[in-house]
């Protein structure tokens, strides 16, 4: 991401398949809208599905991760409450079988090589495609479409998805997040302080401005 991007920065660890990341971004957007100065998102990728991903990239939903139906029902209820609180419409409340790895590959590529506005357009489009439109963001054709709409060439997207070096770099970013103590998403970090979860705009304001 260019060092010339405008405004102060807040680091945001997130994974596109996390509904609370989508809701947390809605809260962040609300806070950003009422600030006098711009607040840039310094996105850091996080991988929620690594333990369920088969060698061919598909998701094995039978893997026991300790989350039973009661957990998912509670999660859905929490999503519904936050939808109402933040005024967000969602087609899905949870997504168990869609993988975000390829979406994060493309997002990481765009983040590294394009300006902030281009990356943000793609990033928001991926979130909306999954949570608002119910589309499979693990599908290459969907990612190409979203990237093209943001101004990225289709052939470049396909090349990024086949790039083993880019794949390795992204996995290292996942590992880096873990080394830094990030154990769940969304996680917001500003300076020496952080907040985890889809916290409200007022909480983000306190995190950034100390008020």
Q: Using one digit for the tens of pLDDT, what is the confidence trace for 157-198?
A: 999 999 999 999 999 999 999 999 999 999 999 999 999 999
Q: What is the mean pLDDT of residues 103-125?
A: 98
User: Could you tell me the two tokens for 57?
Assistant: 């990239």
User: Is 133 domain-assigned?
Assistant: yes
The pLDDT of residue 103 is above 50: yes
Its pTM stands at 0.93
Which residue is associated with the tokens 């880019």? Answer: 166
Q: Are 28 and 22 in contact (CB under 8 A)?
A: no
Q: Are 108 and 157 in contact (CB under 8 A)?
A: no
Residue 18: what are its φ and ψ, rounded to 5°?
-95, 115
pLDDT of residue 1: 42
Residue 92: what are its φ and ψ, rounded to 5°?
-110, 150
In terms of average pLDDT, the best of 2-6, 90-94, 202-206 is 202-206
Buried b / exposed e across 174-193, counting CB within 10 Å, b at 16+? beebeeeebeebbbbbbeee
The pLDDT of residue 2 is above 50: no
The pLDDT of residue 52 is above 90: no
Q: What is the mean pLDDT of residues 69-89?
A: 95
User: Could you tell me the two tokens for 195?
Assistant: 């907040």
With cut-offs at 50, 70 and 90, classify the pLDDT of residue 66. Answer: confident
User: Is 95 domain-assigned?
Assistant: yes
pLDDT of residue 58: 82
The pLDDT of residue 96 is above 90: no
User: Is 86 domain-assigned?
Assistant: yes
User: Is 112 domain-assigned?
Assistant: yes
User: Is 3 domain-assigned?
Assistant: no
How far, CA to CA in Å, does 154 sit from each of 60, 68, 94? 29, 40, 29
The pLDDT of residue 64 is above 60: yes
pLDDT of residue 63: 86
Mind listing the pLDDT tens digit for each residue in 17-47? 999 999 999 999 999 999 999 999 999 999 9
User: Is 102 domain-assigned?
Assistant: yes
Give the number of domains in the chain. Answer: 1
* Mean predicted lDDT score pLDDT of the chain: 94
CA 70 – CA 122 distance, rounded (Å): 34
Helix/strand/coil for 52: helix
DSSP one-letter code for 25: H
User: Is 127 domain-assigned?
Assistant: yes
Q: Are 199 and 24 in contact (CB under 8 A)?
A: yes
pLDDT of residue 7: 60
User: Is 1 domain-assigned?
Assistant: no
Q: What CATH number did the domain enclosing 154 receive?
A: 3.40.30.10
The pLDDT of residue 6 is above 70: no
More confident residue, 57 or 136: 136
Q: What is the mean pLDDT of residues 129-150?
A: 97
Containing structural domain, residue 44: 8-209
């Amino acid at each position: 991401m260019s060092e010339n991007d405008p405004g102060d920065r807040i680091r945001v660890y997130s994974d596109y398949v996390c509904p609370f990341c989508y809701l947390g971004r809605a809260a962040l957007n609300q806070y950003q809208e009422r600030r006098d100065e711009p607040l840039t998102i310094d996105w850091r990728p996080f991988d929620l599905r690594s333990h369920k991903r088969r060698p061919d990239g598909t998701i094995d939903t039978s893997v026991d991760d300790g989350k039973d139906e009661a957990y998912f029902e509670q999660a859905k209820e929490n999503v519904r409450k936050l939808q109402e609180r933040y005024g967000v419409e969602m087609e899905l409340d949870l997504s168990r079988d869609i993988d975000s790895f390829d979406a994060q590959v493309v997002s990481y590529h765009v983040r590294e090589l394009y300006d902030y506005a281009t990356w943000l357009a793609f990033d928001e489009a991926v979130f909306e495609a999954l949570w608002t439109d119910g589309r499979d963001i693990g599908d290459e054709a969907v990612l190409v479409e979203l990237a093209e709409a943001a101004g990225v060439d289709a052939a470049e997207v396909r090349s990024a998805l086949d790039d083993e070096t880019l794949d390795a770099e992204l996995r290292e970013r996942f590992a880096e997040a873990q080394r830094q103590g990030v154990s769940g998403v969304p996680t917001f970090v500003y300076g020496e302080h952080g907040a985890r979860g889809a916290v409200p705009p007022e909480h983000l304001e306190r995190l950034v401005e100390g008020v």
